[in-house]
Amino acid sequence: MKQIQTSNYEKAPFIAVQHEHAIVGWSGVIEKLVQSAGQQEVKLVTIDCYQGVDLDAVIQHVRQLAPQVVIHDTRLIFFTEAAIGEMVEPFVTDHPVFGKMNDLTIQNFIDSEKLKALQNTLSTHTGIQFVIGPAAALVTRNTGITVYADMARWEIQLRFRKKLVSNLGANNATAPFAYLYRRSFFVDWRVLDKHKVDIFDTVNYWLDTTVTAEPKLVSHQAIQSGLQQALKQPFRVVPFFDPGPWGGQWLKEVCDLPDGPPNYAWAFDCVPEENSLLLKLENATVEIPSINLVHEYPEALLGKKVYDAFGASFPIRFDFLDTMDGGNLSLQVHPLKEYIREHFGMPFTQDESYYMMEVRDNAIVYLGLKDETDPKEMIDALESAYENATAFDADKYVAKWPVNKHDHFLIPSGTIHCSGTDSVVLEISATPYIFTFKLYDWERMGLDGKPRPISIDHGKKAIQWNRRIQYTKDHLINQFVTLNEGEGWKEERTGLYDNFFIETRRYWMNTITHHNTNGSVNVLNLVEGEEAIVESPHNAFEPYIIHYAETFIVPASVGDYTIRPYGKSEHQQIAVLKAFINTDHLKYFNLK
């Protein structure tokens, strides 16, 4: 067995925000808001919120600490749960995984007559009033003090599992996780993101209730300072880790994760839609969704051409798939661009790649088809295995390849694939990340003891049957091209593949290497070596230290930067893998 490389992986990376403070604790938070409202002509406090915030706890603390104020709960102005359920059903669908994108807004959830009645009620009171809940800013129309209680999507998912959170306009916290997540992904998060973007610059204070018992209230200026600081430097989002039926033990060791879960299958260390950002203020650390940076400063973060193509959407995802002492991933395929657009309303699909961070001698990857594979026979065998809960002979139909550390397997949509046991994959992909058509799951149950959803009907329409042995060899395995080299360094193009909008480069170095974002956000990972340091040749940002396996983001606005071995790796060879948007290739994609 190969030695597992260890690291001092940082699980709580932060962005330092100078000269800003937070108010910590419910007593101080409520006192500050009541005091601020009392100084306004209209004595009104709006606490708008994202999904996941414990509104009952917020209301309870206001009532206990400020009994003199009048409280209005915006959940009472929503349409009935039945009406909302009927409205969202075409987009949530009855499929266990896939829904459809839509144009719903927060206004579609609000009963206009109830809204007017509440606004009339507000106008009749002269004392301090709190309007609390989703869409509160619609009620108060930017009068008084506005607070936004935010929540990252990963924290929301954890609360789903604990039966603590319902969907927008519903009281369904006990519903199955798959339904709560699907409805949130396709409806709630889109609706609430649009609303938050609309009111972002009208917010006076932001409220972090990730730890409900210890809220943190910060000024809008503090949040803006943190976001603006992120645009000037390399930074990391807060990684999160999750077990799975095929999960392994590598992440637990390398990332120093706690015992308890049976394994860690995934590490999501660059999924800004769901990760959070930590802003370290003078007296507290505040957690906000990292998607706020994408929404508020998309052009500076992504680059103008990338923003023009993708809008305020982060187009690159890095994550780890750990099968060390685990099992095979599901045999799967991703939809073609036309299919995902037609059936799910997504503008682009999940083209991806597997970069092999670590492997054992027996490790393999399933990729592409064998030359003798008959499409009908294979689909019949898959359907029979699913219907009868029997084994599918993947080795008979799907090509199987031995893998080595630092191999790079390219997986354009439509290519059947699966990483096997005893490996660790750094998965680099475009971001429509729930659109995986599982074809076979090796006769196992999910961690909940139930079969995971299989999507043969969708998958058989995606498989590109011409991707067989020679095609895979010629186009999808280790397409390394040396682009530049000098004393102590080498730059290689590693993929993803011709004309795709994500391009990857690998840099081997025992000395300093020079980089430029060239108008695109860069996403990088230290794939070999214990430490590296990222620096500005113009002293535009503080030196930034990176450890093995850490993914970091360099905003397009940074421009020039350098990377070199550092600390325990100084004078040793390290390797960094970089992904960016090749803006010359965007012309091949109709993304909007």
> What is the DSSP code string of 26-71?
HHHHHHHHHHHHHTSSS-EEEEEE-TT--HHHHHHHHHHH-TTSEE
- Strand, coil or helix: what is 252? helix
Q: How far apart are CA 88 and CA 366, in angstroms?
A: 38
Answer for the pair 431, 415: CB distance below 8 angstroms, yes or no. no
pLDDT at residue 4, as a whole number = 57
pLDDT at residue 537, as a whole number = 97
pLDDT at residue 432, as a whole number = 64
pLDDT at residue 365, as a whole number = 98
pLDDT at residue 5, as a whole number = 60
Q: How many CB atoms lie within 10 A of CB 457?
A: 10
Q: How far apart are CA 140 and CA 130, in angstroms?
A: 10
Closest CA to 200 of 148, 141, 143: 148
- Strand, coil or helix: what is 89? helix
Q: How far apart are CA 360 and CA 284, in angstroms?
A: 43
Answer for the pair 554, 524: CB distance below 8 angstroms, yes or no. yes
Q: Which residue matches tokens 């930074």?
A: 235
CATH 3.40.50.300 range(s) for the chain read 15-230
pLDDT at residue 42, as a whole number = 86
Question: Is 240-278+294-475 in CATH node 2.60.120.10?
Answer: yes
pLDDT at residue 2, as a whole number = 45
pLDDT at residue 142, as a whole number = 86
pLDDT at residue 433, as a whole number = 66
pLDDT at residue 1, as a whole number = 37
Closest CA to 240 of 201, 193, 194, 290: 290
CATH 2.60.120.10 range(s) for the chain read 240-278+294-475
For residue 589, what are the contacts with CB-CB under 8 A and spacing of at least 6?
309, 337, 348, 501
Q: How far apart are CA 346 and CA 442, in angstroms?
A: 29
- What CATH architecture applies to the domain 15-230? 3-Layer(aba) Sandwich (3.40)
Residues of the chain whose pLDDT is less than 70? 1-7, 432-433, 587-592
pLDDT at residue 299, as a whole number = 98
pLDDT at residue 590, as a whole number = 54
